[in-house]
Structure 1
Amino acid sequence: MKKTGIEFDSQKRRKEEPLTNEELLTFFILQFFTPKSIWRNDHFSESEMDRFKKHGFNRKIKQAKTVRVLGIIFWFLVFFIVIF
């Protein structure tokens, strides 16, 4: 099936969109608060990364990795401040 110009433009636009605020919070704050249960073999942030890779959202992948690292640093600092 051949894609029309509108469908192609829409796909291209979606690939270039940045992360939404909800997605940013998911990767920044919630990465440690969404437990991986024994009976489930998925994790929300991991499944989102897989979805980004599947659909070729390279900009979102790059942003998600950066936000995830910043989230780890943030929670480490919070833990360090609470301890001392």
Structure 2
Amino acid sequence: MIARWTAACSRIAGWLSAAGVVLAILFAAYTKGRQDAAATQTEHRLETIKKARKIEDEVDRLEPAGVDTRLREWMRF
């Protein structure tokens, strides 16, 4: 009787430890995915900021007539 109880406890402990390992792997993959998404989003923001600065610098170098010309290209009359 005790041998059966010990075998059953051993089997249950094995299944629980396997389930724990699977849950740990899933949690690690989930966290890694969130970190990758955050890194990608930050990279996208930086690219957008660089592009905006480039355009601002280009417009700052223009004379007022050049700014008006560029504005007319974007506006509808």
TM-score computed with the length of structure 2 as normaliser: 0.37
Greater gyration radius: 2
> Is the helix fraction higher in 1 or 2?
2
TM-score computed with the length of structure 1 as normaliser: 0.35
Structure number with higher relative contact order (C-alpha < 8 Å, ≥ 6 residues apart) = 1
